[in-house]
Amino acid sequence: MAESITVRYYDGKHNMPHQAELSLDGERLRIVYGGGQTDFYPLHSAAYLAGVGGVLPVLELPDDARIEFPDHHVPDWLPLKHKTMLQHVGRFEQSWKWVGIGLIVVICVIAVTFKWGIPTAAYYAARYLPEQTLNSIGGQAEQAIVGLTDESRLSAERKREISKLYQTLKPEQPAKLLFRQGSGLGANAFAIPNNTIVLTDELVALAENDNEILAVLAHEQGHLSGRHSLQQALRGIGTGVFLILITGDAGDLLSNLPAMLVAAQYSQEFELEADRYAISVLKRQNIPPKHLADFLQRLNSHHGHDESGTAQVFSSHPVTAERVKQVEMLAK
3-state secondary structure the chain: CCCEEEEEEECCCCCCCEEEEEEEECCEEEEEECCCEEEEEEHHHCEEECCECCECCEEECHHHCEEECCCCCCCCCCCCCCHHHHHHHHHHHCCHHHHHHHHHHHHHHHHHHHHHHHHHHHHHHHHHCCHHHHHHHHHHHHHHHHHHCEECCCCHHHHHHHHHHHHCCCCCCCCEEEEEECHHHCCCEEEECCCEEEEEHHHHHHCCCHHHHHHHHHHHHHHHHHCHHHHHHHHHCHHHHHHHHHHCCCHHHHHHHHHHHHHCCCCHHHHHHHHHHHHHHHHHCCCCCHHHHHHHHHHHHHHHCCCCCHHHHHCCCCCCHHHHHHHHHHCC
| Residue range 67-74: mean pLDDT, rounded | 84
Share of the chain above pLDDT 70, in %: 77
Share of the chain above pLDDT 90, in %: 38
| pLDDT above 60 (res 230) | yes
Task: Quickly state the pLDDT bin for 322 (edges 50, 70, 90).
Answer: confident
Better-predicted residue by pLDDT, 24 or 305: 24
**CA neighbor of 178 nearest in space, from 146, 213, 224:** 146
For the chain, the average pLDDT equals 81
pLDDT value for 73: 79
Domains and CATH numbers, the chain: 4-88 (2.30.29), 113-330 (no CATH)
Better-predicted residue by pLDDT, 181 or 269: 181
| Residue range 81-102: mean pLDDT, rounded | 60
| pLDDT above 70 (res 244) | no
| pLDDT above 50 (res 310) | no
Task: Quickly state the pLDDT bin for 49 (edges 50, 70, 90).
Answer: confident
Better-predicted residue by pLDDT, 320 or 175: 175
pLDDT value for 315: 46
Q: What's the predicted TM-score (pTM) here? A: 0.61
Lowest-confidence region among 221-225, 247-251, 324-328 = 247-251
pLDDT in tens, 125-180: 778 888 887 888 888 888 989 999 999 999 999 999 999 999 999 998 899 999 99
Q: Give the range with max mean pLDDT: 94-98, 264-268, 319-323.
A: 319-323
Task: Quickly state the pLDDT bin for 242 (edges 50, 70, 90).
Answer: low
